[in-house]
Amino acid sequence: MPKIELITKINAPVAICFDLARSIDLHRISTSHTSEEAISGVTSGLIGLNEYVTWRATHFGIRQTLSSKITSFDRPYYFVDEQIQGAFKSIHHLHKFEKINGVVVMTDYFEFSTPYGIFGRLFNALILTSHLRKLLLKRNEIIKQYAETDQWKLVLNEQEYA
C-alpha cells in the first residue's frame, strides 16, 4: 500500500491551520486546476466528524467521483478522512497538527490502495503516487499561504478566531 508523508511548517495559529485543512471551500481553491467540485454531503464551509463530501473532478482526462468521510476528529490536533466510495480500493488520510516552538507543524499521512492487481501497483509506482503527492503539496502550499496572510478570512469566519 503506497504511503505519502508530508510535513509543512506554518507560522499561524493552530486552530486556523486545522480549520483551513478541513475547509471545503479552500479544498476547491487548491484543486481548481482539476475543476473539482463538491456535489453532495458537506459542499461548503467546514466538514466535521461523521460528515461526508462527494467530489467530482477530472484526473488523467477521466471524470470521477469520490466520497470521503471524517472518521476521527479532535480539533485542533488531528482528523482523519477515509474514502467511502470511489475509484480507489481505499484511502486513509490522517491530518495532524502540532505547535512546536511557536510554529504549526502540519503532517499528512496519506495511504491508499488501488484495484487491478499488478496493473494497479504498476500505475501507482509509475504515475499515481507522484500525482497524489503533487496534489497534496499544492493543497498544503495553499493552506500555508492562506494561514500566514489575511487570506484565511476569505474562507473562515473571522469572529471565531478573535
Contacts of 104 (CB under 8 A, 6+ apart): 9, 10, 11, 12, 13, 14, 17, 97, 98, 147
Where are the alpha helices (H) located in 74-128, listed in sequence order?
117-123
Question: What pLDDT score does 25 carry?
Answer: 97
What is the C-alpha separation between 145 and 11, in angstroms, rounded? 10
Structure confidence at residue 126 (pLDDT): 81
Burial class of 159 by CB neighbour count within 10 A (0 to 12, 13 to 18, 19+): exposed
Instruction: Spell out the per-residue pLDDT of the chain, length 162, in tens.
Output: 899 999 999 999 999 999 999 999 999 999 988 889 999 999 999 999 999 999 998 887 888 899 999 999 999 999 999 999 998 999 999 999 999 999 999 999 999 998 878 887 887 788 889 999 999 999 999 999 999 999 999 999 988 887
* 133 contacts 4 by C-beta, under 8 angstroms: yes
Q: What is the pLDDT of residue 123?
A: 79
Half-sphere exposure in the Cβ direction for 59 (13 Å, CA):
18
155: nearest Cα among 18, 10, 23 = 23
CA 50 to chain centre: 16
pTM of the model: 0.94
Res 162: pLDDT: 77
Give me the pLDDT at residue 115, please.
85
Structural domains of the chain, with CATH = 3-157 (3.30.530.20)
Q: Which pLDDT belongs to residue 34?
A: 82
Predicted pLDDT of residue 150: 95
> In this structure, are residues 110 and 136 in contact, taking their beta carbons and an 8 Å threshold?
yes
Q: Please name the amino acid found at residue 88.
A: F
